[in-house]
Amino acid sequence: MSKKDEKYKNLANKILDEIGGKANISSVTHCMTRLRFNLKDESIPNDDNIKSINGVLGVNRSGGQYQIVIGQTVPKVYDALIAISGLTKNAPIDENLDKDLTKKEPFSWKKLGSAILNKLAGSLTPLIPILVGASMFKMFVAIFGPTMLNWLSTSSDTYKLFTLVGDAGFYFFPIFLGYTASKQFHTSPMISMLLGAILLDPNLTSIVKAGKAFSVYGIPMKLVSYSSTVIPIILAVWVMSYIEPLVKKIVPDSLSVVLTPTVTLLVMLPITLTVVGPAGAFLGQYVSDGILAFSKSGGIWSILGIAIIGALWELLVMTGMHLILISTMMMIFATAGHENFISIGGLVASMSVAGMCIGTALALHNRDEKVLAWGYFVACFIGGVTEPALYGLAIRYKRPFIGMMLGGFAGGLYAGIVHLDAYSLVPVANFLGLSACIGGTTANFINAIISAGITIVVAAIATYIIGVEPKTGNSKESSKNLKLVEA
């Protein structure tokens, strides 16, 4: 075993011990920088003890998850954790393997918002690779097609192929969501995917296009197109998570294999096609259209909205409140194919972190602290990892937070004024995030670069002028943490 692998294994072992071991883990996944645990007992971990582990950059409790900030080496630590714990990789496990999943937790208004957010994020997050892949092919068409470089004609096979791939990722989204939602609601993945396929069936699509009346068991069906939708299938799978267990109780065990999926579908068809499907389509379209209308209004509120998101985005990330915005952004991308509000605010916010790093590095006098600040800049602007800078500079010194927010606000303000638009979903926080704005006109991408430049310059100057408030800390420990992040 290499020294690096041994280092990741030791770090994973320490984390596992501190959170109560495998027995206290319901499920674990990771994002770009954090290990994200769903714990059975959240009172077991001691935040201070975990923060003191060499290699841990911070701890956050949010959205029902216990999040441990590692940095860009988190995939290696995650793999080591899975290896030593024996947990299933990249898949949630039941809270208790012998738990009766037909028993739902008691309803609580207090937990309702958090529960909805968790389920929505849990269903959408695993599908980011699909959206990214489809978006990239759409971006290829935009760059190499007639709208920009004109290397590909609309009649060429390559142009048609790339268009096909890009459209497929979005059109069949309800089927993909059927699978991920089933994992969140503990119901049959295959039947859930079939429900998604029913919503996209060519026969149903033809009925909707024809505009002729149709009924399900005599119940009138509202004519709705479900391609690229998000909410309808999630609602349908949620309802099915209650229906399927009831069917299993009624159907004899000897006939369960045949009758359970059949009876479940018989019950779910009218519920899905006449109730939750149309309701979910209306809700999703209402939210998406509302945000798109707000962002395209051209008024001062639209411009200020992007600026405010740019200023507050990193704060929302640290508290986990950004998940609802990300979920909404993904819905808009899935339905409209572009988005010019939330994604733009998030883009300038990531650039503001890079600007804050520059300003802090210039303002600091201690050589070791300067090196750390420049290291955080590289990790952010090149590596796309903002947590080291947030925890190592913004939280540590406090004042850089103001410079970062001012930079995000300034960049967002410019982006709002020029109506900057994102044509693909590029989930990185580095300079490559600007490629999301490739599409439409060449001026759009140029404005993206200008917006990023304004953000970085304003954040750097504001941070430098405001200054920092160094507090005593262990620079050697910080250096060790940085080295682990960059390993």
Q: Is the pLDDT of residue 482 over 60?
A: no
Q: Confirm if 65 and 34 have CB atoms less than 8 A apart.
A: no
Q: What is the pLDDT of residues 184-216, one digit of tens each?
A: 899 999 999 999 999 999 999 899 889 888 999
Higher pLDDT: 303 or 469? It is 303
Q: How confident is the model at residue 286 (pLDDT cuts 50, 70, 90)?
A: low
Contact 384/436 with Cβ under 8 angstroms?
Answer: no
**115-125 per-position pLDDT tens digit:** 676 677 678 76
Confidence label for 290 from pLDDT (cuts 50, 70 and 90): low
Which of 408 and 126 is assigned the larger pLDDT? Answer: 408
| Alpha carbon distance 294, 312 (integer Å) | 18
Query: Residue 176 has what pLDDT?
Result: 92
Please tell me the total number of residues recorded for the chain in this structure. 487
- More confident call, 260 vs 295: 260
Candidates 31, 357, 380, 437; catalytic one:
31
Q: Is 55 helix (H, G, I), strand (E, B) or coil?
A: coil
Instruction: Please determine, for residue 32, whether its predicted confidence score (pLDDT) is greater than 80.
Output: no
Confidence of residue 340 (pLDDT cuts 50, 70, 90): confident
Give catalytic status of residue 31 as yes or no: yes
User: What does the pLDDT average to over 386-391?
Assistant: 74
pTM (2 decimals)?
Answer: 0.55
Q: Which of 6-10, 287-291, 313-317 has the lowest mean pLDDT?
A: 287-291
Three-class secondary structure of residue 275 per DSSP: helix
pLDDT averaged over every residue in the chain = 81
Least confident residue range of 88-97, 427-436, 444-453:
88-97
Residue 136 clears pLDDT 80, i.e. is over it: no
Confidence of residue 450 (pLDDT cuts 50, 70, 90): very high
Q: What are phi and psi of 152, to 5 degrees?
A: -120, 130
Q: Determine the CATH number of domain 3-96.
A: 3.30.1360.60
Instruction: Name the residue ranges covered by the structural domains of the chain.
Output: 3-96, 172-293, 297-486
pLDDT at residue 339 is higher than 90: no
Q: Say what the pLDDT of residue 359 is.
A: 95
Task: Tell whether the model's pLDDT for residue 349 goes beyond 70.
Answer: yes
Highest mean pLDDT (candidates 25-34, 195-204, 283-292, 337-346)? 195-204
- Percentage of the chain lying above the pLDDT 70 cut: 80
Pairing assessment for the beta strands 65-69 and 34-39 based on DSSP bridges: antiparallel
Instruction: Report which of 287, 284, 417, 407 is spatially closest to residue 347, judged by C-alpha positions.
Output: 407
Residue 3 has pLDDT above 80, yes or no: no
pLDDT confidence of 322, banded at 50, 70, 90?
low
Higher pLDDT, 307 or 291: 307
> Are the C-beta atoms of 334 and 120 separated by less than 8 Å?
no
Q: Does residue 454 have a pLDDT over 80?
A: yes
In this prediction, residue 275 carries a pLDDT of 93
Model pLDDT, residue 54 = 83
pLDDT of residue 407: 95
| pLDDT: which is higher, 381 or 161 | 161
Chain segment 142-167, per-residue pLDDT in tens: 778 886 678 989 899 999 999 899 88
Burial of 121 from C-beta contacts in 10 A (0-12 / 13-18 / 19+) = buried
Contact 319, 286 (CB under 8 A): no
> Residue 149's pLDDT is what?
75
pLDDT (tens digit per residue) in 214-266: 999 999 998 888 887 778 899 999 999 999 999 999 998 888 889 999 999 99
Chain centre to alpha carbon of residue 295: 20
The mean per-residue pLDDT over the stretch 467-483 comes to 50
What's the rounded mean pLDDT across residues 362-380?
85
